[in-house]
A and B are shown apart, each in its own frame.
Chain A
Amino acid sequence: MDMATHLNIVASGLLTGLVYGLAALGLSVIFGVVRVVNFAHGEVMVIGMYGAVVAFGLLGLDPILAAPIVAAVLFGGGWVLQRVLINRFVEYSEAKQFILMLGVATIVVNALLMIFGPDARGVMVDYALDTYEIGPLLLDAVRLYAAAAAILATLALFAFFRFSRTGKAIRACADNPLGARVIGLNIDGLYALTFGIGTAVAGFAGSLMTLLVDTRPAMASDYTMLSFVIVIIGGLGSLPGALLGGLLIGVTEAVAGFLLEPSLKSLFSYLVLIVVLLVRPQGLLGRRS
């Protein structure tokens, strides 16, 4: 096997990893600020995927253009969910949060199953089979575009948390909820906002994923686990960490899926997770609490 093939696999793994990283960012934000274990994250992502599939099927809308619309709708959904349901679980143990989110996930997945059926649905954009030749690399157009959109969304998210007043307030909330309350921040409002941002990001990433894979309700729990693995590898509450974790898992999956059986690819993601948890429990870029 030649060098170019290897490079190609790593490069497409990195591009997919950027979308994974974006999805994981949504989870990381929720985890870091609201401190709720969102075990329905992959389910939200799959809602986003179906949003893009429907937008393409009915309006012929490109998933990249559908992504912001899907994200806006899911922001509202996440905001309401946090307000009416999840907010009262913020102080409960992880086991109870787990069951609550598991219930939500079960409802979402089976609602999708009832509406769309179990079969895979794809999006066939007209550039689906195009490739770009960059030096020795031969890259799928869909993967490049999805990755570019993921980078844009990631930068927007970073800018929001870095520069906007609301973003700074949310970070203050994450650092010290009590202190944030003392200086007069509306914690419950910021939690709802954060949860909405998290679900919006998941929906955005989900829309982009439709360019890379077909959509089935059953894939939701895999995406939940994938996002968790990435967030823990990168470091809880660290946004650059989530991105790095996404790239790492993207490449791991691509390489393992190519060199070994595809059925073994998630094995290696979990092995990476175990190693990281044991060697650096706070994650690659996380801080010790």
Chain B
Amino acid sequence: VNRRAWVLFLAFAVLLALAPLAADRYTLSVLTTLVWFAYLGQSWNVMMGFAGLLSLGHALYVGLGAYASAALFVHFGIGPWAGLWVAMAVAGAAGGFIGFLGFRFGVRGVHFALLTIAFAEVARIAFDHIGWLGGSAGFFLPVAPRMSLPDLRLPPIGFYYVILVLMLGALALSRWLLHSRLGYRWLAIRENADAAAAVGIDLFSARIAAVAVSAAMAALGGVFQAFYFNSLFPEQAFAMGRSIEIILPVIIGGIGTLFGPILGALILTPLGEGLTWAIGALGLDLPGLKQFVYGGVLVAIIVYLPNGVWPWLAAKLGISQGGEGGR
């Protein structure tokens, strides 16, 4: 990464840090969602972008993290700072278990992706019927009588800075992982698993590690979700649609690149909000129109920039993209 990239990145980070000063309540909530998806996308990127493992059920890990930390808080009075370790352990173990089952039996590619969907769907339907966690009626965290950092009961701007720190932390972690021994193993496996195995890389353990790390990262995003939104519904938390929302920014931004997931969220969240605004302003109150246009934009981006927007933009800016993009 060269000097120009660092300057641009610092400017970007400062801009994000200062953004709430100029934002009203609505804009702040959009920004918080944006940064949250930038964070979650990075967790998915570890699995798909680095290790080449397609997960289409990533909502599972986010949801497990959210429910684990919320259950500890509501039923046992254990705050999120302690709960997050449990949440990450639960999701990491779930990811490791699914990986273990899948890789042990040689389930790959689309088959593995469907396995991840199947587990997420099973969780969605099962959580609908777990009364202890609210079932399909939803699980609610008590509204805070007063602000408290230990219980993560913060004003909206506080949550924004929490997720911003997490998002930048995930970026640092991704960068470190990519240049670690494990990261190089992942890239080797992603590019050519047979060749990687031939030079002595243990595919099984490296792949399990990728799923577990990715799941634990996602779970931390789930903890944030639980305490920021204060309510959890299985139909949202584990939905296929949530998994898609997590994946989209990464693919649009650039799979396997460090900045791609963040750029993707920067494009897609404002796109969604902008479409809502534009359709409202034009007085076109037609259900489906927004999603129709959104789908068209998705197809256009993936057709014209199949490697994502970041590799293209990085080349335009004359900086290295950071991380080699996947196919």
Chain A residue at minimal CB-CB distance from B300: A103
Chain A residues in 8 Å Cβ range of B295: 102-107, 110
Q: How many angstroms between the C-alpha atoms of A106 and B289 in the bound complex? A: 10
Chain B residues in 8 Å Cβ range of A98: 54, 56, 113, 247
Of the candidates B105, B110, B251, the one whose C-beta lies within 8 Å of that of A99 is B251
Pairwise interchain contact B288-A95, C-beta atoms closer than 8 A: no
A111 at the interface (CB under 8 A from B): yes
B 149-193 contacts with A by CB, 8 A: none
Chain A residues in 8 Å Cβ range of B288: 109-114, 217
Of the candidates A110, A270, A278, the one whose C-beta lies within 8 Å of that of B289 is A110
Q: How many angstroms between the C-alpha atoms of A41 and B94 in the bound complex? A: 30
B 100-135 contacts with A by CB, 8 A: 101-102, 105-107, 109-111, 113-115, 117-119, 121-122, 125-126, 128-129
Rounded to whole Å, the gap between the CB of A75 and the closest CB of chain B is 21
Chain A residue at minimal CB-CB distance from B48: A95
B 57-105 contacts with A by CB, 8 A: 101-102, 105
A153 at the interface (CB under 8 A from B): no
Q: How many angstroms between the C-alpha atoms of A113 and B118 in the bound complex? A: 27
Pairwise interchain contact B118-A274, C-beta atoms closer than 8 A: yes
A267 at the interface (CB under 8 A from B): yes
Chain A residues in 8 Å Cβ range of B121: 225, 266-267, 270
A94 at the interface (CB under 8 A from B): yes
Pairwise interchain contact A107-B122, C-beta atoms closer than 8 A: no
Q: Of residues A88, A99, A229, A264, which shows the largest number of chain B Cβ atoms within 10 Å of its Cβ?
A: A99
Pairwise interchain contact B291-A278, C-beta atoms closer than 8 A: no
B240 at the interface (CB under 8 A from A): yes
Proximity string of chain A (31-70) to chain B, C-beta cutoff 8 Å, 1 when within and 0 when not: 1000001000000000000000000000000000000000
**Size bracket, chain A contacts:** 35 or more
Main SS class of interface, B:
helix
Rounded to whole Å, the gap between the CB of A76 and the closest CB of chain B is 20
B292 at the interface (CB under 8 A from A): yes
Chain B residues in 8 Å Cβ range of A278: 101-102, 105, 107
B 281-309 contacts with A by CB, 8 A: 286-292, 294-296, 298-299, 302-303, 306
A273 at the interface (CB under 8 A from B): yes
A163 at the interface (CB under 8 A from B): no
Chain A residues in 8 Å Cβ range of B56: 98
Pairwise interchain contact A103-B299, C-beta atoms closer than 8 A: yes
Rounded to whole Å, the gap between the CB of B256 and the closest CB of chain A is 10
Proximity string of chain B (245-277) to chain A, C-beta cutoff 8 Å, 1 when within and 0 when not: 001100110010000000000000000000000
Q: Of residues A37, A93, A267, which shows the largest number of chain B Cβ atoms within 10 Å of its Cβ?
A: A93
Q: How many angstroms between the C-alpha atoms of A117 and B102 in the bound complex? A: 41
Of the candidates B102, B107, B125, the one whose C-beta lies within 8 Å of that of A264 is B125
Rounded to whole Å, the gap between the CB of B12 and the closest CB of chain A is 25
Chain A residues in 8 Å Cβ range of B138: none
Given contacts A94-B110, A232-B114, contact A88 B303 (CB under 8 A): yes
Pairwise interchain contact B125-A266, C-beta atoms closer than 8 A: yes
Chain B residue at minimal CB-CB distance from A92: B306
Rounded to whole Å, the gap between the CB of A283 and the closest CB of chain B is 9
A240 at the interface (CB under 8 A from B): no
Q: How many angstroms between the C-alpha atoms of A174 and B40 in the bound complex? A: 37
B4 at the interface (CB under 8 A from A): no
A 85-134 contacts with B by CB, 8 A: 85, 88-89, 92-96, 98-100, 102-107, 109-114, 117-118
Chain B residues in 8 Å Cβ range of A37: 110
Pairwise interchain contact A277-B302, C-beta atoms closer than 8 A: no
Pairwise interchain contact A221-B294, C-beta atoms closer than 8 A: no
Given contacts A118-B287, A270-B122, A274-B118, contact A107 B107 (CB under 8 A): no
Pairwise interchain contact B291-A106, C-beta atoms closer than 8 A: yes
Number of B positions contacting A (CB below 8 A): 47
Chain A residues in 8 Å Cβ range of B107: 277-278, 281
Q: How many angstroms between the C-alpha atoms of A80 and B251 in the bound complex? A: 25
A 181-231 contacts with B by CB, 8 A: 217, 221, 225, 228-229
Q: How many angstroms between the C-alpha atoms of A37 and B292 in the bound complex? A: 21
Q: How many angstroms between the C-alpha atoms of A105 and B296 in the bound complex? A: 10
Pairwise interchain contact A264-B298, C-beta atoms closer than 8 A: no
B317 at the interface (CB under 8 A from A): no
Chain B residues in 8 Å Cβ range of A270: 118, 121-122, 125
Pairwise interchain contact B303-A228, C-beta atoms closer than 8 A: no
Of the candidates A85, A99, A277, the one whose C-beta lies within 8 Å of that of B114 is A277
Rounded to whole Å, the gap between the CB of A12 and the closest CB of chain B is 23
Pairwise interchain contact B289-A96, C-beta atoms closer than 8 A: no
Pairwise interchain contact B128-A228, C-beta atoms closer than 8 A: no
A 235-289 contacts with B by CB, 8 A: 236, 263-264, 266-267, 270-271, 273-274, 277-279, 281
B326 at the interface (CB under 8 A from A): yes
Pairwise interchain contact B125-A267, C-beta atoms closer than 8 A: yes
Pairwise interchain contact A277-B299, C-beta atoms closer than 8 A: no
Pairwise interchain contact B292-A110, C-beta atoms closer than 8 A: yes
Pairwise interchain contact B114-A273, C-beta atoms closer than 8 A: yes
Rounded to whole Å, the gap between the CB of B192 and the closest CB of chain A is 14
Rounded to whole Å, the gap between the CB of A112 and the closest CB of chain B is 8
Rounded to whole Å, the gap between the CB of A121 and the closest CB of chain B is 15
Given contacts A113-B287, A277-B114, contact A102 B306 (CB under 8 A): no
Chain A residues in 8 Å Cβ range of B294: 106
Rounded to whole Å, the gap between the CB of B52 and the closest CB of chain A is 8
Chain B residue at minimal CB-CB distance from A272: B118
Q: Can you identify 9 A-B contacts, CB atoms within 8 angstroms?
A: A85-B303, A93-B54, A96-B302, A99-B302, A102-B298, A106-B295, A236-B111, A263-B128, A281-B106
Q: Which 5 A-B pairs have the closest CB atoms?
A: A106-B295, A113-B288, A103-B298, A110-B288, A103-B299
